Amino acid sequence: MRDYLSEFLDAKAVEDGASLNTLISYRNDIKQFLELISPQKITDVTTEDIECSLKELKERGNTAKTLSRKISCIREFFKFLQSENIIKESPANKLITPKIGKALPDFLTKEDIEKICMAAKSKRSFPFMRMHVMIELMYVAGLRVSELVSLPENAINYDMQQVLIHGKGNKERIVPVTKEVIRDILNYVEIRDGFMGTRKSNWMFPSEKSLSGHITRDGFFKNLKKIAFEAGIPPEKVHPHILRHSFATRLVNNQVDLRSIQKMLGHENIVTTEIYTHITTEKLIKEVKTRHPLTQQHKEDK
């Protein structure tokens, strides 16, 4: 029997220029599929046979996202067999791809944020003082990490307690911040000026090592992980975007209207902002299940 899998992978590599990682993924998925339908010949496989193999994979605990990827791979494989006249019609054409729900963004609690800020603030070195203010700004103003690291020195309006942000597509937005954050920024600027000495910088968060003149996304990411570890929070749970998500979640939980949150986040479409309402909904459901008087009564009756 011809090695159809090798031929398929060769075609993907030569004709489509598939990357090594893609080819490995194709190989693993198809190899697993062939094992599931064995000893059935590939030329005799029906749609029902494929559905049975997918049912087996689902029972093994594969998620909808994983199954969707495997279905896509199987479709490509049979499409190739059809193009090579090995089969007349692809049995994978009628497969239904499972719906994949939108993943809800993770977020940190207020207590988590406070621990991270305190861990950064407790260190007296300039890099940690800089990180403390950056973390506060990202959480209080919901900045994207790219907006944060490249924030100009003149972006802060101290009198109005506002930050002018240059977002995606050169669109500007103004986000209010608290007087406490303004105070911390003023303290930081004084330390930053001492750190810079006679050197000049237009950036709020300058860096000596970076070619751009300001701290990089990667630099912020690595430092954030270190500080999370110092704060006793699992580093894998903390990344730059989670601070922005935590900002949005906090506002939704405090009944701030979605249009205002949309403007502060710089979302072009409010549908993007609406995902945070699902977080609140899930939280409410959990609260009802665990704290509702009737639930408690039911537990006591048991």
Which residues are part of the catalytic machinery? 144, 168, 241, 244, 267, 276
Q: What stretch of H or E contains 61?
A: none
- The set of residues, in sequence order, having a beta carbon less than 8 Å from that of 219 and lying 6+ positions away, is 149, 207, 209, 210
The C-alpha atoms of residue 285 and residue 291 are separated, in whole angstroms, by 10
Q: Report residue 46 as tokens.
A: 């029906």
Contact 262/166 with Cβ under 8 angstroms?
A: no
- The set of residues, in sequence order, having a beta carbon less than 8 Å from that of 278 and lying 6+ positions away, is 102, 104
Q: Which DSSP letter does residue 104 get?
A: P
- Collect contacts of 35-43 with beta carbons under 8 A, ≥24 apart: 41/1, 42/4, 42/81, 42/86, 42/87, 43/81, 43/86, 43/87
* Nearest CA among 216, 264, 267, 204 for reference residue 240: 216
- The set of residues, in sequence order, having a beta carbon less than 8 Å from that of 255 and lying 6+ positions away, is none
Backbone angles phi, psi at 206, to 5 degrees: -70, 160
Contact 144/167 with Cβ under 8 angstroms?
A: yes
